[in-house]
Structure 1
Amino acid sequence: MRGGPATGPTPPTRGGRRRQPPLAVVLLALTAALLAVAGWAVTRGQADITVAQVGASAGHRLCTAVLAAAGCPADPLTPVQDAIVWQGRAPRVVAAAAVGAGLAVVGAVMQALTRNPLADPYLLGVSSGASVGAVAVLVLGLTAALPVAAFVGALAALAVTLALATGRGGGLSPVRTVLAGVAVAQAGSAVVSFVIIWSATGDSYREVLSWLMGSLGGTTWSEALLALGATAVVGTVLVAQGRPLDAFTFGDVSAASLGVAVTRARWLLLGAGALLTALLVSVAGAIGFVGLVVPHAVRLVAGTRHYRLLPVAGLAGASFLLVADTAARSLFEPRELPVGVLTAVIGAPVFAVLLRRKAHTA
């Protein structure tokens, strides 16, 4: 065959582009995979509980919420099992899926806005600001205030980053934004290190390290629903901006020529992405590699158009973090690893493979 063989298993269409599966098929498959992973995750642990029991218990709870309890089937779980599933595992599963989806979507947005393939949700120094707030309350023993303090710290870091990055006329250039984020992140890391060395001892030291590496242990329903609601609302806003994001990948001049209000769109996308990241970090800590690796991985299936990429990245990120978190709490029982350790262990090799693949196809 003249012109050489195809470079991959999927035959190219006209113009050299790979034929992409329909978006509805991809989303349906990823949704089914996410539900399967969630069912597996909620049954993993020392207590012997099956998916059928969890499903029957969910039906019992739904029935009693709608109808009189007398007309509903009995709950197959014992009181102890019920507490393990509905107060321990279920909110953690919901939070892991929501946090993974949100980080993956924001990572894809940041990579498009800055035209930087190494960009991630923490680009604007949000995680460092959240870490300062979280560490401050942990060393003071005010654990209950951790989510609030982390969120306030993240917003403070975001405000400083945007203030440094904003030029005359209110413009935000990608290079200046990245540099401002790096500066704020380094300053936040220095403050965290100082506080840990100066003040953290005993249990507070372990709590600080666990949070800094990312952890979903002890997640409550209020935190899980906060992460889910934030991802659903802000994620929808970001997904709806697929056209401006496509334009940004070609530069500001090209985006403006396509009718995009560059300054307003960049402020909206950066603000929404940073706000979502701040909320997610306040719930789960700084979990790395999800927002960096997942967008690159799903581009192999979804392509580069953001109306396809963002929802696919969200579902893939949810499953990825859910698997990582379940492994973190079950591989070394009764000990639990911070989930950020496993995302790095999984994400670094995957990212290396993706880099090598792109190097061979470039």
Structure 2
Amino acid sequence: MSGEGSTVGGGGSSIDGETARRRSTDRSPIGWLLDAKLVVVALSSLAVIVAAGLVQVSFGAYSMTVGQAWRAVLDPAVLLDPRWLLNFVVGEGLMRAVTGFQGELPQLTHETLIVWNIRLPRVLVGVLVGANLAVSGAIFQAVTRNELASPFILGVSSGAGLTILLTLVVFGSLSAFLPLIAALGGSIAFLIVYAIAWKNGTSPVRLVLAGVIVGTVFSSLQTALFFFADDIGVVQSAIAWTTGSLTGTDWEQVRLALPWSFVAVTLSIAGARQLNLLLLGEGTAKALGMSIERVRFALSGVAVLAAAASIAVAGIVGFVGLIVPHMVRNLVGTDYKRLIVGCLFVGPALMVAADVGARLGMSVIAGTDAQIPVGIVTGLVGGPYFLYLMRKQQHMGEI
């Protein structure tokens, strides 16, 4: 869905270029990690993740107390047995290949099996999706110098949504490859946007405008495809993908997203200095020896990779990539080394907490067991927060 991207205005005026200049010269290898504000943000976010995760693994068809859930998560039979850990994280086949173990794995309690097999993977997918979207949004806000940018500003979400609907409606036999197809669609959309924006180079404004155009066209095509879906199950599946949902996620989604998430996060941290320099403007960055187009394209590719890893396992979740970088920037400052690390904690905290609301909200409000897509919850949270930002910062989004 590209509605989020269509709200984009001009360049980011609240990002302090002078602060970015000063902090980009910080050569301390680990000193910046010990920043008091960053430590507080990280610890607070971890507390939210743990609390929301415990609530998440406690409820379901087989209910258990928070204490039982906590003991199941920390069961030594899993944590102290590398065979079980590898079995969950990489799969049984690879576990046996790595360890050479061919016998039967030790028995686990019923609660431990439920938590580790069914419920804990959903929390872990939420952590990965939240981190990816937050980091992707932070990168796009620097690359476009636009504080209203999000992971979907360059058409990533609309491209992914279109390929999802095409697969479900026209090429149903390929639905098993839906995660990879979604990521591929987002990547292709990004390349189209970049090609449209290219004119002896690109600029933040052209990238934003091209993203809005491509997003609008692709969203229209998405809407048109719904008229060709005569199976209500296909429509419901498409809605879940295009609004973002963690329902039914398991270890397969964790294994799919984890390696790409690791690559994207590593590259984003490594590119923090270049992101700081981009905030200074093209003239200053060139004077400092930066190849603007190469760096912009490479960093945009990292942001697309992070967003694609999220879309591939959870569909299109809006607003996380827009509001989390703002929250972190207000808490730890504009230096991208701290900002990226802060996003790695605040993004998962918001996503896991929102998923608790998505899973349990209807039971509290209407007394039913129905679950709503997590993208609806993030939209309900992100919309008011976005309006708050607009009211607080009068010049928000101006070039």
Q: CA deviation at 1:148?
A: 2.1
Q: How far apart are the structure 2 equivalents of 1:159 and 1:200?
A: 32
Q: How far apart are the structure 1 equivalents of 2:39 and 2:289?
A: 28
Given candidates 351, 358, 380, the residue that maps to 1:345 is: 380
Q: How far apart are the structure 2 equivalents of 1:282 and 1:60?
A: 32
2:44 matched to 1:44? Answer: no
Q: Which residue does 1:26 correspond to in 2?
A: 41
Deviates more, 1:337-346 or 1:157-166: 157-166
Q: CA deviation at 1:290?
A: 0.2
Q: Which residue does 1:325 correspond to in 2?
A: 355
Q: 2:129·2:309 contact (CA, 8 Å) conserved in 1? A: no
Q: Secondary structure at the match of 1:217?
A: coil
Q: How far apart are the structure 1 equivalents of 2:68 and 2:249?
A: 22
2:203 matched to 1:162? Answer: no
Q: How far apart are the structure 1 equivalents of 2:220 and 2:389?
A: 32
Given candidates 220, 225, 228, the residue that maps to 1:195 is: 225
Q: How far apart are the structure 2 equivalents of 1:110 and 1:180?
A: 14
Q: Which residue does 1:289 correspond to in 2?
A: 319
The aligned runs of 1:211-360 (5 Å cut-off) are 211-333=241-363, 334-359=369-394
2:204 matched to 1:204? Answer: no
Q: CA deviation at 1:185?
A: 1.2
Q: CA deviation at 1:109?
A: 1.0
Q: How far apart are the structure 1 equivalents of 2:319 and 2:113?
A: 32
Q: CA deviation at 1:360?
A: 10
- The 1:248–1:146 alpha-carbon spacing in structure 2 relative to 1, beyond 3 Å, is same
The aligned runs of 1:91-130 (5 Å cut-off) are 91-130=121-160
Q: 1:98·1:228 contact (CA, 8 Å) conserved in 2? A: yes
Deviates more, 1:34-43 or 1:196-205: 34-43
Q: How far apart are the structure 2 equivalents of 1:205 and 1:360?
A: 41
Q: Which residue does 1:60 correspond to in 2?
A: 77
Deviates more, 1:276-285 or 1:159-168: 159-168
Amino acid at match of 1:252: E
Query: Over aligned residue pairs, what C-alpha RMSD do you find?
Result: 2.6
Amino acid at match of 1:341: I
Deviations 1:120-168 (A, max 9, x none): 0001111111111111222244432211221221222122122222232
- The 1:53–1:74 alpha-carbon spacing in structure 2 relative to 1, beyond 3 Å, is farther
Q: How many corresponding residue pairs?
A: 335
Q: CA deviation at 1:254?
A: 1.6
Deviations 1:26-69 (A, max 9, x none): 3344334433332332223343224443444442123444599x
Deviates more, 1:214-223 or 1:51-60: 51-60
- The 1:73–1:54 alpha-carbon spacing in structure 2 relative to 1, beyond 3 Å, is farther
Where structure 1 has 5 or more consecutive residues not aligned to the other structure, the ranges are 1-19
Amino acid at match of 1:23: L
- The 1:271–1:360 alpha-carbon spacing in structure 2 relative to 1, beyond 3 Å, is closer
Q: 1:30·1:315 contact (CA, 8 Å) conserved in 2? A: yes
Q: Which residue does 1:147 correspond to in 2?
A: 179
Q: How far apart are the structure 2 equivalents of 1:32 and 1:132?
A: 37
Q: How far apart are the structure 1 equivalents of 2:297 and 2:326?
A: 24
Q: 1:297·1:354 contact (CA, 8 Å) conserved in 2? A: no
Q: How far apart are the structure 2 equivalents of 1:258 and 1:213?
A: 42
Q: CA deviation at 1:190?
A: 1.9
Q: Which residue does 1:15 correspond to in 2?
A: none
> Following TM superposition, where does structure 1 have runs of at least 4 consecutive aligned residues deviating by more than 6 angstroms?
none
Q: CA deviation at 1:208?
A: 1.1
Q: 1:106·1:277 contact (CA, 8 Å) conserved in 2? A: yes
Q: How far apart are the structure 2 equivalents of 1:129 and 1:114?
A: 19
Q: How far apart are the structure 2 equivalents of 1:262 and 1:134?
A: 33
Q: Secondary structure at the match of 1:198?
A: coil
Deviates more, 1:182-191 or 1:28-37: 28-37
Q: CA deviation at 1:257?
A: 2.2
Amino acid at match of 2:221: V
Amino acid at match of 2:51: A
> Sequence identity, in percent?
37
